[in-house]
């Protein structure tokens, strides 16, 4: 852009510092320098997408009352503000619900073009167990966020998509070097007072779960098995959804090691998480290309990776420095399953029909087979469609398909066969089989179970804002149910079971923040998981924007 001046000496200094900090080999340094030369030869042009003032008032007023507030910035931070429920809370509701999500969509004259890139903001609700409750919310003080506040502009870091006005050529390269630093997806507890916020990357930030203050960033050191091309690996892609390793205090995740040399093998590693800093590789295997995997499934003895044909294109990443433009979907290619035996590390590779998934629901072993339930999509188009220009347009947001389908896979290792079925909707809950952002009673993790709960967007198959919290009976006994109120916009719920997991699987509450579009306010809802009726609620002292994932910690207060 003509109104941006760039000090080449400063940029070269940054380039040298970043390459040194990366501690890569001479070959990697040469590759980065070649990339820099390539960018110098590109004419940086500014794409005018309209007025870039960053003010939400310039967008069209939604026909769905208050829905635009779901994707509007809320800069306020508070700590331990009392909230008051309409009815007494059960005394066994004791602990802290922490959620991670989207808090700010613009700074200065620049805004994010995709909802997934909004600055991370934490929310928490503390329940001391004496009938009181307290609300807190704070931004994650990442380097990305702090630098952006300092500049009064969105700082050049790697994003899922891009910004408006776009970064210039030098800023894009600077973003590529810095990588992703915005941990706005999930929150996990890996040990005593070891709570981390996550994205789909190897780096994490740790937080104080009581005050929500950010502690430090951690990029865990790990040894990837040697191979002829190991020195050209970039170890940075992981999962925002670790899973507990049954019978241990540890968690399971994965690491994708992307080879930056065309034609050379990349690697996927199954990883044991002992703490935010301490991780070890259980087993590792080579792949031709690295698939994007937001989550994976696990049982007592196995981990199952769905390698959908949505592949990372290194050349495009180098060219655009935009991950969303660097993912290739192959509609005609099969989905590869990597089934890993946790104890031995043996990997069995199988294939199934083309499918895309973001979230697994649950998995378990029964009669010598592995059962895996997922929220399935025909392709990843809906991810691209969650751009701000679509979400804030009352016509465009209703034109794309966001409906998932609950699908069950039966994997037989002896015969290396995979079969699947899709669950059907019922009259009592016509969109219960379209759930995503799933949750279950965690006492039934890795066990045979009946109920999955989740969010069904576009429940009426007309309006994106027609959002339901649904209960799907996977045992086929006709117990599908749903909860929704017109112009009330719900997000992912967390299942808090009755003490001991409850007498029945659905004994407990679904707890979630809801935006009341008509009143332009937010509240925390308690939904009885058996009847799917809201039985309690408390007003939140501010509007809560869309948030992604979270969990209830019964040992944190």
Structure tokens that stand for 155 in this block: 């700082």
The answer to whether 114 is annotated as binding is no
Phi, psi of 205 (to 5 degrees): -120, 140
What CA–CA distance (Å, rounded) separates 24 from 512? 44
In the chain, how many H helices and how many E strands?
Answer: 7, 36
Instruction: Quote the Cα angle for 83-89-92, to 5°.
Output: 120
Annotated binding residue at 294?
A: yes
Report the sign of the C-alpha dihedral through residues 139, 209, 251, 23, in that order: positive
Give Cα separations from 147 to 51, 76, 139, 160 (angstroms).
24, 19, 13, 18
Angle between helices 8-22 and 169-178 (to 10 degrees): 20
- Contact predicate 393/421, CB 8 Å: no
Taking CA atoms, 469 is separated from 258, 298, 466, in Å, by 38, 25, 10
Report how far apart the first and last C-alpha atoms of the chain are (Å, whole number).
50
DSSP tag of 39: H
Helices (H), 103-168: 143-151
Contact 364, 371 (CB under 8 A): yes
Give the C-alpha separation, 439 to 452, whole Å: 6
**549 marked ligand binding residue:** yes
Q: How many CB atoms lie within 10 A of CB 364?
A: 19
Strand 508-516 and strand 521-528: pairing?
antiparallel
Q: Please spell the DSSP secondary structure of 200-241, one letter per residue.
A: SBS-EEEE-TTT--EEEEE-----PPP-TTGGGEEEEE--S-
By the 8 A CB rule, do 204 and 196 touch?
A: yes
Tell me if 165 sits within 8 A of 201, measured CB to CB: no
DSSP assignment string, 327-339? EEE-TTSPEEEEE
CB 210 within 8 A of CB 232: no
Cα–Cα dist 262/519, whole Å: 55
- DSSP 3-state of 36: helix
**Contact call for residues 241 and 359 (beta carbons, < 8 A):** yes
H-state helical runs in 249-393: 314-320, 381-385, 388-391
Query: Do residues 553 and 126 make contact, with C-beta atoms less than 8 angstroms apart?
Result: no
The enclosing H or E element of 174 equals: helix 169-178
Determine if residue 152 is labeled as part of a ligand binding site.
Answer: no
User: CA dist 542 to 75, 77, 511, Å?
Assistant: 10, 10, 18
Q: What is the DSSP letter of 54?
A: -
Q: Known binding site for Fe cation: residues?
A: 241, 294, 359, 549
Residue ranges of the binding site: 241, 294, 359, 549
């Amino acid at each position: 852009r003509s109104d941006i001046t760039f000090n080449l000496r400063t940029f070269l200094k940054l380039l040298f510092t970043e390459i040194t900090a990366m501690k890569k080999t001479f070959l990697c340094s040469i590759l980065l320098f070649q990339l820099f030369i390539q960018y110098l030869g590109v004419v940086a042009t500014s794409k005018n997408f309209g007025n870039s003032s960053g003010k939400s008032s310039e967008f069209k007023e939604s026909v769905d009352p208050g829905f635009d507030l779901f994707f509007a910035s809320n800069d306020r931070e508070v700590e331990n503000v009392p909230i008051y429920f309409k009815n007494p809370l059960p005394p066994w509701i004791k602990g802290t619900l922490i959620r991670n999500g989207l808090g700010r969509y613009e700074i200065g004259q620049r805004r994010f073009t995709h909802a997934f890139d909004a600055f991370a903001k934490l929310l928490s609700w503390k329940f001391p167990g004496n009938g009181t409750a307290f609300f807190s919310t704070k931004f994650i003080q990442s380097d990305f966020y702090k630098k952006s506040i300092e500049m009064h502009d969105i700082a050049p870091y790697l994003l899922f998509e891009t910004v408006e006005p776009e970064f210039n050529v030098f800023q894009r390269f600077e973003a590529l070097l810095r990588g992703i630093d915005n941990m706005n997806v999930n929150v996990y507890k890996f040990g005593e007072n070891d709570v981390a916020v996550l994205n789909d990357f190897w780096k994490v930030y740790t937080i104080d779960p009581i005050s929500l203050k950010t502690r430090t960033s951690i990029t865990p050191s790990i040894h990837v098995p040697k191979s002829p091309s190991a020195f050209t690996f970039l170890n940075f892609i992981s999962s925002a959804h670790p899973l507990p390793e049954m019978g241990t205090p540890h968690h399971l995740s994965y690491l994708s090691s992307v080879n930056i040399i065309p034609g050379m093998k990349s690697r996927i590693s199954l990883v044991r998480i002992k703490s935010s800093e301490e991780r070890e590789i259980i087993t590792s295997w080579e792949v031709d290309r690295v698939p994007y995997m937001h989550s994976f499934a696990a049982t007592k003895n196995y981990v199952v990776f769905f390698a959908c044909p949505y592949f990372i294109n290194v050349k495009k990443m180098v060219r655009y420095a935009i991950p969303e433009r660097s993912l290739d979907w192959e509609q005609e290619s099969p989905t590869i399953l990597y089934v890993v035996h946790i104890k031995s590390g043996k990997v069995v590779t199988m294939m199934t029909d083309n499918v895309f998934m973001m979230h697994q629901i649950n998995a378990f072993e029964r009669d010598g087979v592995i059962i895996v339930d997922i929220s399935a999509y025909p392709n990843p188009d809906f991810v691209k469609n969650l751009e701000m220009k679509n979400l804030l347009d009352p016509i465009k947001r209703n034109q794309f398909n966001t409906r998932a389908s609950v699908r069950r896979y039966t994997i037989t290792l002896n015969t290396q066969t995979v079969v699947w079925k899709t669950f059907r909707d019922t009259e009592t809950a016509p969109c219960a089989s379209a759930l995503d952002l799933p949750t279950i009673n965690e006492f039934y993790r890795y066990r045979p179970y009946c109920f999955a709960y989740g969010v069904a967007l576009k429940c009426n198959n007309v309006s994106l804002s027609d959002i339901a919290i649904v209960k799907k009976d996977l045992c086929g006994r006709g117990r599908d149910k749903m909860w929704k109120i017109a112009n009330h916009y719900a997000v992912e719920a967390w299942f808090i079971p009755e003490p001991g997991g409850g007498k029945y699987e659905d004994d407990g509450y679904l707890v979630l923040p809801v935006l009341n579009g008509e009143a332009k306010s937010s509240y925390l809802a308690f939904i009885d998981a058996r009847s799917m009726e809201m039985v309690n609620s408390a007003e939140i002292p501010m509007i809560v924007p869309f948030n992604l994932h979270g969990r209830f910690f019964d040992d944190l207060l």
